[in-house]
Amino acid sequence: MHQPALNALVDVDPELAGLVEGEARRQHDKIRLIASENYVSTAVLEATGTVLTNKYSEGYAGRRYYEGQQFVDPIETLAVIRAKELFGVDHANVQPYSGSPANLAVYLAFLRPGDKVMGMALPMGGHLTHGWSVSATGKWFTSVRYAVTKETGRVDMDEVRDLARAERPKLIFCGGTAIPRTIDFPAFAEIAREVDAVLVADIAHIAGLIAGGAHPSPVGHAPVISTTTHKTLRGPRGAMLMSDAEHASALDKAVFPGLQGGPHNHTTAGIAVALREAATPEFSRYAHAVVANAKALAEALVDRGFDLVSGGTDNHLILMDLASKGIAGKPAAKALDRAGIELNYNTVPFDPRKPFDPSGLRLGTPAVTTRGLGVEQMPQLAAWIDQVVDAANTGQDAVIDRIAGEVAELMAGYPMPGWA
């Protein structure tokens, strides 16, 4: 059952309680390989389910527009201090509701409508909010997009430099949502200085790896850093903006009053707990294990004939092109979900298929590593993925059903925070 127990919810709304219990069991029983998902600790679950949700706190600690902040102010201050210490930054704002609003605050802080922003193109692994056309950031600002090379699946920094020199953007994003390789923060910083642009490192996917020392940090290279607080950081669904002292005031004003009203204090408390957990030696071991598992899984997939963008991974994320397997990403992802293996279909660089029916799959190891799976289990995961993809191609539903049972049996041996 769900932990903490849902006793009051069962009494008041048994229908909803049943749905929550069902989701908790689903998370427990399946192999969760969505690269942007994880499990928070029971302590984070408790913090986000407190009476802090009752309190309005517009403004910042010591400068609120409501009274009664005697406990909320220290909670937010604690989260800010922990973020600054963990990442080694001058300034942190823990109020953004999620990653996209955090990125929008960056635009509000440093650009005017129509100004140029440069970011990785979405089909190449970038994020919607880095200037893609369907996003407000692509509609309100002039977008300049860099790519990966077709031959390597990696960013060519010389091409990025040439594009920046030609277009002279005022803001440059590095980072994205489907990048399996280490981001070259020093090279991006050098380019940004050359064209007098503000460099923003979007580390939403890799924040936990950075905190744990398993990925290089953008601190000292990017004056502005944006991140979510879930994914590899294992916090609640929220976001943070971090910066050097020079850019702090503009970011704070952009978050409030520029975009938001009162922060979600229960989320702030959960962020504070997650940051405390991320400062421990245990978390550092976790971050390195995430990368080790991803590399082991990538190697096992390559051994089974899967084509991986860039040939492998340096971090938590694997991007797979299924074109050679004769199946598209969407039917493969749905078959894998039926088999108890949860991931997402995804475009791959230079994908000839449409975004809602792409050629690829995106998968990652943060959640399975939290559950305790190690490199010794990764070949089995690759074998199951291979068998399900083949079964989906040939209509072998019995194979998919068999693997679903095997997956549930495996995961029963690995405890999950939030389920007992």
Is 56 catalytic? The answer is: yes
Is 58 catalytic? The answer is: yes
Is 228 catalytic? The answer is: yes
Separation between Cα atoms, residue 366 and residue 182, nearest integer Å: 16
Identify the active-site residue in 82, 116, 181, 231. 231
Is 115 catalytic? The answer is: no
Identify the active-site residue in 237, 253, 304, 353. 237
Is 303 catalytic? The answer is: no
Identify the active-site residue in 177, 227, 228, 369. 228
Active site residues: 56, 58, 202, 228, 231, 237
